A and B are shown apart, each in its own frame.
Chain A
Amino acid sequence: GAVVSQHPSRVICKSGTSVKIECRSLDFQATTMFWYRQFPKQSLMLMATSNEGSKATYEQGVEKDKFLINHASLTLSTLTVTSAHPEDSSFYICSVGSLRLFQETQYFGPGTRLLVL
């Protein structure tokens, strides 16, 4: 399977600041990347789907101006949490899929723990 990395693995920031999380596909070209959010002891909730070179598609209830997603290349997608607030504290996970793979199979990054003080 594909190898996916995320950076940083953990970040603490002050309320009102912006935080960027990177998701990298290390060994294949990812035409599609997914961003999930996971609250403690809860399931993963899909936030948005990004396709390389086009705008991300956000799930209902997810603020696109708050969670900026950029998928400028086939190996990198970034999620920027703008003007973060304590309620944005969560575990953010990305996954990648490729039209050259069976796209139902997603490969997940290890996640980024965000804590907003």
Chain B
Amino acid sequence: GNSVTQMEGPVTLSEEAFLTINCTYTATGYPSLFWYVQYPGEGLQLLLKATKADDKGSNKGFEATYRKETTSFHLEKGSVQVSDSAVYFCALNAGGTSYGKLTFGQGTILTVHP
């Protein structure tokens, strides 16, 4: 079946530090990959996505590259801010008969201190 594994948190960083949150996946076929972010008290928001191998998704300074050879979609940001503190979810859509259904990783809590 399909699955997503994220690095365990929580992750605590100082402002302007470099961020990496690892995500690997298992899926049949050619899934689309996503990062969602959940700020305190809010619903999940799409942060970025990539739909095919070697695609790079980017938004708000965050980037992730779809690596089919390593089945990974690691999230990176060069300089985090306090406002980036949130829970980050990696997810995939396997397509085919599962089109529209998302499989989520367990989420990684990020806390950024001033």
Chain A interface residues (CB < 8 Å from chain B): 1, 4, 32, 34, 41-46, 49, 93, 95, 97, 103-111
Interface size class of B (residues with CB under 8 A): 20 to 34
Contact of B102 among A41, A106, A109 (CB under 8 A): A106
Using known A-B contacts A1-B46, A41-B106, A43-B107, determine if residue A103 contacts B100 with beta carbons closer than 8 Å: yes
Q: List 14 A-B contacts (CB under 8 A).
A: A34-B102, A41-B106, A44-B89, A44-B102, A46-B101, A46-B103, A49-B101, A93-B43, A93-B44, A104-B49, A104-B93, A107-B46, A108-B44, A108-B45
Chain B interface residues (CB < 8 Å from chain A): 4, 32, 34, 36, 41-46, 49, 51, 89, 93, 99-107
**14 other contacts beyond A44-B102, A107-B46, with CB at 8 A cut-off?**
A1-B46, A34-B101, A43-B104, A46-B101, A103-B99, A103-B100, A104-B51, A104-B93, A105-B49, A106-B46, A108-B43, A109-B43, A110-B43, A111-B43
